[in-house]
Amino acid sequence: MTIAVLVALGATTGGCGRDSSAARTTPPGVLPQGAETVRLDPGNFTTKIDNPYMPLVPGSVWVYADTEPDGSRQRDVITVTNRTKVVSGVTVRVVHDRATRGAEVIEDTLDWFAQDREGNVWYLGEATQSYDNGKPSSTNGSWEAGTHGAQAGVVMPASPAPGLEYRQEYREGKAEDRARVLSIDDQVQSPVGHYRNAVLTKEFSPLEPNDLEYKLYAKGVGLVTAIGASGDLARETLVSYRKGGG
């Protein structure tokens, strides 16, 4: 797996032995790490996202039931739109994520994704708006690659393998999520169905050292279950999925 990412001058990834005197393509199998600076080649990306573990086909809709430890519930609807946006020179697919509790909207987010030629799904930022009693309250968590030092990350590798670790997003002090693949032969079940050969990941962030979340992804569907194991103990379960027509 070769990721066509040009690394900015002076960037390093421990153990890779990069020549910092010139920008060049990252070595095979290397995904972005930590605060590493990357410069993306727009010609290497597409808005046709067909990674089997994160197929973002326009018109697709996922509905999740999110249960908090106190028993309260919310509904999360994710829709792949036909819209695109240019972020840091890369044309990205806009995905709408809306969370509600009853009839009340509690968060409304636009996420930006693109896929490279190898099949890695990159995350280039989000515009998120939280609500309190129906009124906008915060845009915390918003970030955009190339702005205020923010860097793109990978949310699903082209070839998940146990032990593979990567950053998902980076804006210092604001968004520093990371993930590690734990297995690729698990199974997971939700009201939508039972899936084998699921990818299990663990997600964490140095900004919230007590938080730990596990996620299970099914081929052809995407995220099926997310389980908070420490810190935020919410559980998110896929209850409905409709694949778009492209």
The enclosing domain of 191 has a CATH number of 2.40.360
The span from the CA of 11 to the CA of 19, in Å, is 9
Residue with the larger pLDDT of the pair 2 and 34? 34
- Is the alpha carbon torsion for 89, 171, 227, 120 positive or negative? positive
Is the confidence at residue 204, as pLDDT, over 60? yes
pTM: 0.87
Percent of the chain with pLDDT over 70: 88
The span from the CA of 120 to the CA of 157, in Å, is 5
Work out the average pLDDT over 204-223: 97
Is the confidence at residue 22, as pLDDT, over 90? no
pLDDT recorded at residue 180: 98
> How many independent structural domains does the chain possess?
1
pLDDT recorded at residue 141: 87
Is the confidence at residue 82, as pLDDT, over 70? yes
Q: Which domain holds residue 95?
A: 5-242
